[in-house]
Amino acid sequence: MKSNWFKQAVGYQIYPKSFRDTNGDGIGDINGIIEKLPYLKDLGVDFIWINPIYKSPQFDGGYDISDYYALDEDRFGTMADLQNLMMQAHSMGMKVIMDLVVNHTSNQHPWFIESRKSKDNPYRDYYHWQPATPDHLPNNWISFFGGSTWTIDEPTGEAYFHVFSKEQPDLNWHNPKVREEIYDMVRWWLEQGIDGFRLDAISHIEKAPWDFEIKSFKDNSPWEPFMNVAGIEAYMAEFKKLFDEFDALTVGEASGVSSKEATSWTDDHGYIDMIFELEHSNKDDNGQGDLKLFKDTIMRWQEDLLARGWNAPYLENHDQPRVIDVLGDGTEASAKALAVAYMLLRGTPFIYQGQEIGMTNFDYTDISQVDATDTIYLYNEKLAEGLSKTAALKVATVNSRDHSRTPMQWDATENAGFTDGKPWLVINPNYLEKNVAAAQTNPDSILNLYKFLIQLRHEYQDISEGHITFLFPEHPAVLAYKRGEFLIVTNLSATPTTITFERPGHDYQDMVTQAIVPDLLELSLESWAYRIYKKIKE
């Protein structure tokens, strides 16, 4: 059985490159995280997840690791710094988890450098190689970053497989030597005192037979041959043994694992503690989220994992544009309603850096401002299709991952208090008003609402672990639910609305205003309203 501390906990995701730079090179670092631990403690978070800080050519924001045992010291700091971070976090009662990227390595990893050399190289089988010609690739699968999953490589003339960019060749999990290397590495990190992992792209480690043909390129089907493919269970079971040994906290990025399957992945005997579902966040060509999809997905995951399993609710991460501009309408009110809507769900909620102050998307005006590989790829693709630079930039950036990667806005000083140097990525000019320092002094800020929501989770077991029942499931804008004695209602739209409860009405106390709400039968909800009510005992 797994331990359960995480059920009361709140996680905070740090994109270290953009969190806080302490040595003026314009790149956030480990010491920057240490500096901000008191801020995180004050916010109330129980653990942090740090995006990759391993040695990497940074082709994909560190998700292309060239040495699993080394940190990117030039950018982020040394192992001693990391030990110091863990020590200080632990002394403040916070845990630290790191990214585990084992679907693929960088093409600069020594294993791949060897693997490319010849067909009989001892590392050849560490990756997936197949005979190929430009007209005859092994199959018609396409990669997440665009183009074929196969890249033909000199000197052998064969093609290697990659579900992400060609700089991120996929490891061959069929090879027991690969698995052993990975498990050794995981053990080593756990021995260093890491409290657990966010398992990157973990549902892709097994692939369908190479002759599997993609018939439809719509919806999710192009990813089918490498998304939660049968056979993965054996690898996950091996992982589980290792994680259990260290009582490690584990959260999987596991697209393709359905809410039904997630029960056995995340229950008391499951491979991991919880899963980030990736279904709720679809956006249209104008960057707008789909509220119905969001609501339906959340309800389904919450209900399916009620009897068994555990959720990891989140709104933002380093791959998604800012929710205030996706599901919200840019206003603070929308950021608050969204915060309440998801922070009191059942599960372990995650907050992504900057979300707690309502950081927004960036208005990209030139491709030179962009870093994300997939955004640049899409831009070039659109140029090649004949679009103007302006049009291509719009298409490429509307849902770009670089919206959430702009540096954290700490205060109104130059460069938002992120760095004394030149920031590696553009800083959003709205830092002058939108920053942590300003939010701290405003009792009505989004930040203070997050603090309050975290306190509620810590104080009331009804909210952390209790049952959940959704109300008004068909309502187009209202997301409402009961958690034991609590009633949570949000209007996720700018249009006021009124909802009517079933008789008999109950007496509630408004947890925000302390007002008494007698015999609640009808509730008028203003634009982006939220209510957190607690039943008054008769």
Q: Which residues contact 325 (CB under 8 A, 6 or more apart)?
A: 287, 360, 361, 403
Site string for ligand GLC, 77-106 (x = CB under 6 A): ------------------------x-----
21 binds, among Ca ion, ligand GLC, none (CB under 5 to 8 A by kind): Ca ion
Binds ligand GLC by CB under 6 A, chosen from 253, 273, 316, 356? 253
Neighbours of 215 (CB within 10 A): 10
Of 81, 170, 200, 206, catalytic: 200
User: In the bound complex, what is the minimum distance in angstroms from residue 411's beta carbon to ligand GLC?
Assistant: 28
User: In the bound complex, what is the minimum distance in angstroms from residue 414's beta carbon to ligand GLC?
Assistant: 29
Of 72, 170, 206, 253, catalytic: 253
Q: Determine the Cα–Cα distance for residues 257 and 304; give it in Å rounded to an integer.
A: 13
Q: Please compute Rg for the chain using Cα positions.
A: 23
46 binds, among Ca ion, ligand GLC, none (CB under 5 to 8 A by kind): none
User: In the bound complex, what is the minimum distance in angstroms from residue 27's beta carbon to ligand GLC?
Assistant: 17
Is residue 73 annotated as a catalytic residue, yes or no?
no
Residues of this chain that bind Ca ion (CB under 5 A): 21, 23, 25, 27, 29
29 binds, among ligand GLC, Ca ion, none (CB under 5 to 8 A by kind): Ca ion
Q: What are 351's strand-pairing partners?
A: 12
> What is the per-residue DSSP string for 507-524?
EEEETTT--EEEEE-EEE
Q: Determine the Cα–Cα distance for residues 252 and 199; give it in Å rounded to an integer.
A: 5
Chain residues 138-177 in contact with ligand GLC, contact rule CB under 6 A: 164
Instruction: Closer to Ca ion by CB, 23 or 461: give it.
Output: 23
Does the protein bind ligand GLC through residue 60 (CB under 6 A)? yes
Q: Determine the Cα–Cα distance for residues 89 and 76; give it in Å rounded to an integer.
A: 17
User: In the bound complex, what is the minimum distance in angstroms from residue 533's beta carbon to ligand GLC?
Assistant: 36
Q: What are 170's strand-pairing partners?
A: 104
Environment class of 292 (CB within 10 Å of its CB; exposed 0-12, middle 13-18, buried 19+): exposed
Half-sphere exposure of 21 (CA within 13 A, CB side): 25
Chain residues 314-353 in contact with ligand GLC, contact rule CB under 6 A: 318-319
Q: What is the DSSP letter of 386?
A: T
The span of 58-66, 406-414, 470-478, 525-533 binding ligand GLC (CB under 6 A) equals 58-66
Is residue 64 annotated as a catalytic residue, yes or no?
no
User: In the bound complex, what is the minimum distance in angstroms from residue 412's beta carbon to Ca ion?
Assistant: 21
Q: Determine the Cα–Cα distance for residues 110 and 146; give it in Å rounded to an integer.
A: 26
* 8 Å CB contact between 37 and 88: yes
Does the protein bind ligand GLC through residue 201 (CB under 6 A)? yes
Paired tokens of 300 = 């389904």
**Through-space distance between the first and last CA atoms of the chain, rounded to whole angstroms:** 39
Positions marked catalytic: 200, 253
* Contacting positions for ligand GLC (CB under 6 A): 60-61, 63, 101, 164, 200-201, 253, 318-319
